Amino acid sequence: MKIEVTSQMTGNVWKVVVAKGEQVEEDQEILILESMKMEIPVVSPDDGTIIELKVEEGDFVSEGDVIAILEED
């Protein structure tokens, strides 16, 4: 099943931690946002593979934006 990974909050993408095609575990950091004066990670909701990354470092994302697509294991 394909899962859309969304940003919980509005902020700037400070660092993208994983690459497209990478295998991730549940709760693994996908990227780190800078928001509310803090560095806040967006984590994977499940075990699976990142089949698409929708943002780059420096991008601005709003709450609810899809930042990656995960193919569930």
Partner 1 sequence: MTKQVVEEQNELKQKIDKLLEKKEKYREMGGQKYIDAQHEKNKLTARERINLLLDEGSFKEMGILAHHQNLHPTMEGKFTPADGVVAGRGTIDGREVCVAAHDYTVLAGAIGKVAETKVARVREWSLKNRVPMIWLVDSAGVRVQESIGSLFAGNGRQFFDQVQMSGVVPLICALMGPGIAGTAYLPALADFVPMVKKTSYMALGGPHLVRSVVGEDVDEQTLGGSRVHTQESGVADLEVKSDEECLKVIKKYLSYFPSNNEQKPPIKEGVERAEITINERLAEIVPTNPKKIYNMYDVIKELSDDNDILAMKPKWAKNIITAFGRVGGYPVGFIANQPMHLGGALDGDAADKAARFMNICDSFNIPLVFLQDIPGFIVGSKVEKAGIIRHGAKMLHMVSEATVPKITIIIRKAYGAGYFVMNGRQFDPDYIAAWPTAEISVMGAEGASSILYHKQIRKAEDSKAAWSEYADQFRNLIDVEVAASNMLIDDVIDPRETKLQIFDAVASAWNKKVERPWKKNSIRPV
Chain contacts with partner 1 (rule: CB under 8 A): 1, 8-9, 35-41, 43, 45-46, 63
Q: Which is nearer to partner 1, 48 or 50 (CB)?
A: 48
Indicate the residue among 39 and 57 with the shorter CB distance to partner 1: 39
* Nearest of 63, 60, 46, 71 to residue 13 by alpha carbon: 60
Nearest to partner 1 of 1, 19 (CB atom): 1
Is residue 62 within 8 Å of 10, Cβ to Cβ? yes
Cβ of residue 53: shortest distance to partner 1, in angstroms? Answer: 20
Q: What is the Cα–Cα distance from 38 to 16, expressed in whole angstroms? A: 16
